[in-house]
């Protein structure tokens, strides 16, 4: 079973992702950017779902650091953001993320993207 | 009867008497021959005389005397007269102009007596009746009473022939014989011929003189006109030309041009052949402009004053008469130079001899006066035009500075002061400004003594200074003499003295009644500023006020736009945050609802499942609303860019129709694609085009319960019209524009029935306009609506 790191500060939304994915994946959770980097280093997940607005360290910075870390840079990062203004997606992609999804999350689209990045 | 005719008649008579016998016959024949010869000789002499007179006439076109003398000597000789005389008539009296063989006594009498026409003598009778008078013997003339010397002359037979021109008596030729021997018909005719010739000669000379005079006058006036046209900036040369022409045309005279100035009559030009007399005449000027002088009357009453003889001069002109007596002239004529009913000067002719000017001379003087007026007007207009031009140039330069330096008053002030310096011949010019402390400070200053001047400031805005007073009383304050003039505030008097200023003017700079400062000009001599200068300074003050106000407004606008920018950034940030904050809970609502619906479908009562569907639909509607608001905000903030690309229109429309198909009530409504697949390529932002068309189609689907929805398109004249026509509920005419406003649907209650955010059309129309197009609506309530999107076939960015 593949491991997915869920980085999300809002508990309800974290819980929603858990309910959607727990049957099919092993899940590791983080509520801010700093924790995200720690969990990623410990658990070496196969994929990371990254929120952008996070306390301590935001998602853009966390993504940039992950991608700058030789050991973690290959892990696909899918950004999940409630930011819908033009510019956010570009910024996220510039920080190195591999994909982008707008909240509220369309579950079908989410499953599709996860499967594609995991090569399933 | 002509001489030729007389000869012919005599000849015939001679022949008829020829005949008879022997010696008598021969004697008769000889006598006849001699007579004929005599007659022929007489005729020849007469013809010769006539020809000679004609020659004299043609040789003396300028002088009638030689002609008259020639006539008289020929007439006397050919008519065997003892004495002859020619008289000229001037309309009143007869004047003797030539005589032949008159005794000294008779000649003297002829010269002295200037008789009127009467019956007293043959000559006078001839003049009276204007026909030839022939008195066979004066001793038998009952109307003639000879004087003693006339008796001694012993004149017996007299012939007087009138000289007539155009029915007007010109003169009389009279011949006397000291014996009773009437003149023959031929002699009378001869004298009449001579009289005619005399008339021709007199007429010739008159015409010649008139032509010459006219020519001289014309030459003179033409010369003056030439001077006028060649000296538009100075009247001096024109006045000189007038007086110079004047003395040429008026004999024995001096000519002057004068002008009134400050209550005095001033001499502008004088021409007089005798320099000494010119000098003395000049010394008379200036004299007071009063009616005691002829010039005064001419100017004040605006009429010609003619004084033919100083000795008979009216006592009213006491002062003028004194002037006159000392100058040695006898007569004077003063003609006013009249402009708009007022005299602006005079032209005067003074003469050595008493006597009036002729009408022609007066007319000529008047012409000169008119020309002088023209010259003065020319110069005035020229100067005014030049002055106005300079002022306009200056004020245009200031306006130019104002418009090109909206952020800074300094260039404007500089331009104003520079112009003031030039146009006012000011020694100092400056601009004082009311500061935030309510005191007057130096805003700008050109001129000497800057340090001394600066030491005086700041000063309060009170009537104790010229600047302050002009601001307090909101008027131009003008001191022609700051040292001795009345009402000069002590501070100004002292300040002016310190920096060597003798006259000063202050104009307030006012904006909406508020005093902003004052402009001032100072000169180092006592002088009045003219009305025009005052007006100009006021203009400069206004311009300075405008400049200050411009800069204030500019700064205000800059501050406002900076604030607006901040506000706009805040709004955008707020919208972004709001969107984020709303999407986060929506993510949970929609996500969990889906999970429950998917995992618990079998466990839930159908009613509860439907409730979950309603939660999901509401969540999705809320999401759509958030998206729309975000879109609208983006368009409003100008953050939406048009990304044009070349597309084929038909496939895009096909795609839109397919997208909307699920919304159409398939059983009752048909979606008709009513367009040509060969629609042209267009350059447009495809994503926005889709957004608009889908919006229009989904609106149609929403409001159409049965019938059809037709998607039409056609291109023409560089634009494309895409229309969506439905058979739905329609829109009331008064709502056709309202529906494009935010959160408006034709019926406020319809949102609840038909759904929708109420922002779709608003966004669609804004996007259409953003791409240089438009959306219009037409409708028949109850039968359907038609929305038409027009777009340019090739998008061109507004900047291009």
Which has more confidence, B748 or B236? B236
**pLDDT given for residue B12 in this prediction:** 42
Contacts of B581 in chain A (CB under 8 A): 82
Mean per-residue pLDDT, B485-505: 87
Structure tokens at B192: 């009449």
Q: Is the pLDDT of residue B2 over 90?
A: no
The pLDDT tens digits of the residues spanning B686-713 come to: 888 998 999 999 899 988 989 999 999 9
Q: Is the pLDDT of residue B1 over 50?
A: no
Interface mutation vs chain A, best among B584, B625, B685, most A CBs within 10 Å:
B584
d(CA B424, CA B263): 26
Element (H, E) at B261: strand B253-261
The pLDDT tens digits of the residues spanning B117-172 come to: 999 889 999 999 999 999 988 888 888 877 777 777 788 899 999 999 888 999 99
**pLDDT given for residue B796 in this prediction:** 83
Closest CA relative to residue B711, chosen from B756, B662, B792, B700: B700
B466 touches chain A (CB under 8 A): no
Q: Is the pLDDT of residue B752 over 60?
A: no
Mean per-residue pLDDT, B553-558: 83
Work out whether the CA dihedral A88, A90, A91, A92 comes out positive or negative: positive
Asked if B590 and A10 come within 8 Å (Cβ–Cβ), the reply is no
Structure tokens at B178: 């000291």
Asked if A13 and B591 come within 8 Å (Cβ–Cβ), the reply is yes
Q: Is the pLDDT of residue B342 over 60?
A: yes
Question: In degrees, to the nearest 5, what angle opens at C-alpha B626 toward C-alphas B622 and B632?
Answer: 140
**pLDDT bucket at B25, cuts 50 / 70 / 90:** confident
The pLDDT tens digits of the residues spanning B399-444 come to: 777 666 666 778 888 888 888 888 887 788 888 888 888 898 988 8
**CATH T-level assignment (fold) for domain B405-640:** Beta-Lactamase (3.30.450)
User: B434: buried, middle or exposed (CB in 10 Å: 19+, 13-18, 0-12)?
Assistant: buried
- Token pair 């001032």 is found at B520
Q: Is the pLDDT of residue B547 over 90?
A: no
CA B783 distance to own-chain centroid: 69
The answer to whether B267 and B236 are in contact (CB under 8 A) is no
Distance (Å) from the alpha carbon of A120 to chain B's nearest alpha carbon: 23
CB atoms within 10 A of CB B393: 13
The answer to whether B438 and B461 are in contact (CB under 8 A) is yes
**pLDDT given for residue A49 in this prediction:** 96
Q: Is the pLDDT of residue B649 over 80?
A: yes
Most confident of B342-356, B374-388, B395-409: B342-356
B595 touches chain A (CB under 8 A): yes
**pLDDT given for residue B21 in this prediction:** 60
Same fold, B405-640 and B642-792: no
d(CA A47, CA B695): 38
The pLDDT tens digits of the residues spanning B170-179 come to: 999 999 999 9
The answer to whether B270 and B278 are in contact (CB under 8 A) is yes
The pLDDT tens digits of the residues spanning B216-269 come to: 777 777 777 777 767 667 778 888 888 888 888 877 678 999 999 888 999 999
- Token pair 């005419």 is found at B733
A13 touches chain B (CB under 8 A): yes
Strand bridging mode A3-7 / A26-30: parallel
User: What is the residue-wise DSSP string for A72-103?
Assistant: TTTS-EEEEES--STTHHHHHHHTT-SEEEES
d(CA B685, CA B794): 10
Asked if B576 and A83 come within 8 Å (Cβ–Cβ), the reply is yes
| CATH class in words for B231-377 | alpha beta
Asked if A84 and B630 come within 8 Å (Cβ–Cβ), the reply is yes
Mean per-residue pLDDT, B650-671: 87
Q: What is the number of CB-based contacts under 8 A between chain A and chain B? A: 58
**pLDDT given for residue B735 in this prediction:** 83
Q: Is the peptide bond before B286 cis (omega within 30 degrees of 0)?
A: yes
Mean per-residue pLDDT, B374-392: 77
Strand bridging mode B305-307 / B681-684: unpaired
B586 touches chain A (CB under 8 A): yes
Contacts of B592 in chain A (CB under 8 A): 12, 16, 19
d(CA B53, CA B51): 5
The pLDDT tens digits of the residues spanning B609-618 come to: 988 888 888 8
| CATH code of the region B55-210 | 3.30.450.40
Name the percent of chain B lying above pLDDT 90. Answer: 20
**pLDDT bucket at B40, cuts 50 / 70 / 90:** confident
**pLDDT given for residue B159 in this prediction:** 94
**Positions of chain A with pLDDT under 50:** none
Chain mean pLDDT for chain B: 83
**pLDDT bucket at B5, cuts 50 / 70 / 90:** very low
Query: Domain extents for chain B?
Result: 55-210, 231-377, 405-640, 642-792
Q: What residues have CB less than 8 Å from B466, skipping those under 6 apart?
A: B477, B479, B488, B489, B492, B504, B506, B518, B520
Round to the nearest angstrom and report the end-to-end CA distance of chain A: 12
**pLDDT given for residue B171 in this prediction:** 92
Residue B744: strand, helix, or coil: coil
Q: Is the pLDDT of residue B183 over 50?
A: yes
Closest CA relative to residue B773, chosen from B679, B685, B649: B685
For residue B169, the cross-strand partners are B164
The pLDDT tens digits of the residues spanning A6-18 come to: 999 988 889 999 9
B642-792: which CATH number, 3.30.565.10, 3.30.70.141, 3.40.50.300, 3.40.50.720? Answer: 3.30.565.10
Q: What residues have CB less than 8 Å from A52, skipping those under 6 apart?
A: A58, A59, A60, A79, A81, A83, A88, A92
**pLDDT given for residue B293 in this prediction:** 86
**pLDDT given for residue B292 in this prediction:** 85
The pLDDT tens digits of the residues spanning B62-93 come to: 778 888 888 888 888 888 999 999 999 988 99
Asked if B623 and A103 come within 8 Å (Cβ–Cβ), the reply is no
Which has more confidence, B695 or B572? B695
């Amino acid at each position: 079973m593949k491991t997915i790191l869920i980085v999300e500060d809002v508990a309800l939304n974290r819980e929603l992702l858990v309910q959607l994915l727990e049957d099919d994946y092993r899940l590791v959770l983080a509520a801010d950017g700093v924790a995200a980097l720690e969990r990623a280093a410990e658990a070496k997940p196969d994929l990371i779902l990254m929120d952008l607005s996070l306390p301590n360290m935001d998602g853009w910075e966390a993504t940039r650091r992950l991608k700058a870390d030789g050991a973690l840079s290959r892990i696909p990062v899918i950004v999940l953001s409630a930011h819908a203004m033009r510019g956010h997606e570009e910024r996220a992609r510039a920080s190195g993320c591999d994909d982008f999804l707008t909240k509220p999350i369309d579950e079908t689209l989410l499953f599709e993207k996860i499967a594609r990045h995991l090569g399933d | 009867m002509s001489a030729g005719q007389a000869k012919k008649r005599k000849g015939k008579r001679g022949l008829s008497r020829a005949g008879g016998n022997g010696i008598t016959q021969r004697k008769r024949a000889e006598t006849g021959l001699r007579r004929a010869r005599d007659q022929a000789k007489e005729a020849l002499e007469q013809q010769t005389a006539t020809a000679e007179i004609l020659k004299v006439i043609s040789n003396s076109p300028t002088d009638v005397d030689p002609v008259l003398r020639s006539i008289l000597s020929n007439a006397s000789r050919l008519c065997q007269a003892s004495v002859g005389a020619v008289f000229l008539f001037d309309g009143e009296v007869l004047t003797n102009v030539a005589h032949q063989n008159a005794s000294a006594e008779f000649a003297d009498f002829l010269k002295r007596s200037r008789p009127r026409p009467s019956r007293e003598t043959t000559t006078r009778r001839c003049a009276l009746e204007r026909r030839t008078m022939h008195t066979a013997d004066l001793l038998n003339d009952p109307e003639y009473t000879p004087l003693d010397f006339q008796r001694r002359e012993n004149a017996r037979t007299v012939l007087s022939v009138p000289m007539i021109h155009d029915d007007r008596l010109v003169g009389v030729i009279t011949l006397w014989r000291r014996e009773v021997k009437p003149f023959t018909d031929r002699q009378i005719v001869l004298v009449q011929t001579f009289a005619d010739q005399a008339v021709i000669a007199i007429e010739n000379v008159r015409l010649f003189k008139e032509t010459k005079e006219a020519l001289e006058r014309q030459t003179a006036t033409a010369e003056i006109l030439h001077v006028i046209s060649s000296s538009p900036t100075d009247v001096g040369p024109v006045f000189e030309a007038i007086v110079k022409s004047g003395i040429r045309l008026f004999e024995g005279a001096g000519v002057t041009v004068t002008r009134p100035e400050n209550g005095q009559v001033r001499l502008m030009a004088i021409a007089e052949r005798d320099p000494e007399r010119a000098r003395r005449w000049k010394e008379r000027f200036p004299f007071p402009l009063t009616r005691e002088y002829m010039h005064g009357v001419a100017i004040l009453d605006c009429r010609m004053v003619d004084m033919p003889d100083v000795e008979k001069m009216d006592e009213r002109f006491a002062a003028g008469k004194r002037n006159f007596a000392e100058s040695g002239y006898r007569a004077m004529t003063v003609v006013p130079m009249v402009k708009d009913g007022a005299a602006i000067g005079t032209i005067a002719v003074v003469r050595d001899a008493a006597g009036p000017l002729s009408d022609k001379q007066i007319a000529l003087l008047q012409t000169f006066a008119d020309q002088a007026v023209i010259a003065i007007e020319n110069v005035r207009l020229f100067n005014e035009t030049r002055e106005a031009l300079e002022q306009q140039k200056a004020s245009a330069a200031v306006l130019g500075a104002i418009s090109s330096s909206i952020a800074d008053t300094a260039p404007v002030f500089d331009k104003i002061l520079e112009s003031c310096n030039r146009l006012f011949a000011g020694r100092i010019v400056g601009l004082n400004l009311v500061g935030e402390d309510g005191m007057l400070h130096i805003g700008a200053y050109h001129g000497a003594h800057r340090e001394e001047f600066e030491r005086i400031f700041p000063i309060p805005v009170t009537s104790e200074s010229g600047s302050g007073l002009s601001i307090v009383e909101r008027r131009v304050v003008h001191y022609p003499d700051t040292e001795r003039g009345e009402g000069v505030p002590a501070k100004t008097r002292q300040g002016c003295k310190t920096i060597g200023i003798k006259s000063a003017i202050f104009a307030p700079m006012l904006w909406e009644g508020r005093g902003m400062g004052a402009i001032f000009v100072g000169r180092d001599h006592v002088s009045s500023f003219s009305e025009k200068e005052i007006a100009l300074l006021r203009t400069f003050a206004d311009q300075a006020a405008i400049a200050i106000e411009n800069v204030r407004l500019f700064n205000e606008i800059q501050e406002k736009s900076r604030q607006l920018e901040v506000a706009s950034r805040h709004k955008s940030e707020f919208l972004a945050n709001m969107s984020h904050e709303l999407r986060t809970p929506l993510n949970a609502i929609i996500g969990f609802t889906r999970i429950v619906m998917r995992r618990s479908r079998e466990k839930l009562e159908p009613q509860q499942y439907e409730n979950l569907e309603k939660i999901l639909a509401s969540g999705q509607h809320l999401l759509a609303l958030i998206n729309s608001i975000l879109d609208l905000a983006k368009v409003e903030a100008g953050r939406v860019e048009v990304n044009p690309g070349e597309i084929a229109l038909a496939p895009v429309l096909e795609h839109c129709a397919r997208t909307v198909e699920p919304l159409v009530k398939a059983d009752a409504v048909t979606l008709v694609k009513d367009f040509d697949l060969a629609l042209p390529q267009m350059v447009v932002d495809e994503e926005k085009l889709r957004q608009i068309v889908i919006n229009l189609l989904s609106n149609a689907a929403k409001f159409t319960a049965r019938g059809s929805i037709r998607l039409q398109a056609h291109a023409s004249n560089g634009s494309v019209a895409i229309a969506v026509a439905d058979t739905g509920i329609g829109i009331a005419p008064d709502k056709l524009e309202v529906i494009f406003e935010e959160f408006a649907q034709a019926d406020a209650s319809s949102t609840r029935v038909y759904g929708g955010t109420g922002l779709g059309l608003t966004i669609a129309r804004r996007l259409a306009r953003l791409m240089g197009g438009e959306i219009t609506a037409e409708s028949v309530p109850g039968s359907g609506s038609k929305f038409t999107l027009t777009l340019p076939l090739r998008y061109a960015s507004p900047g291009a």
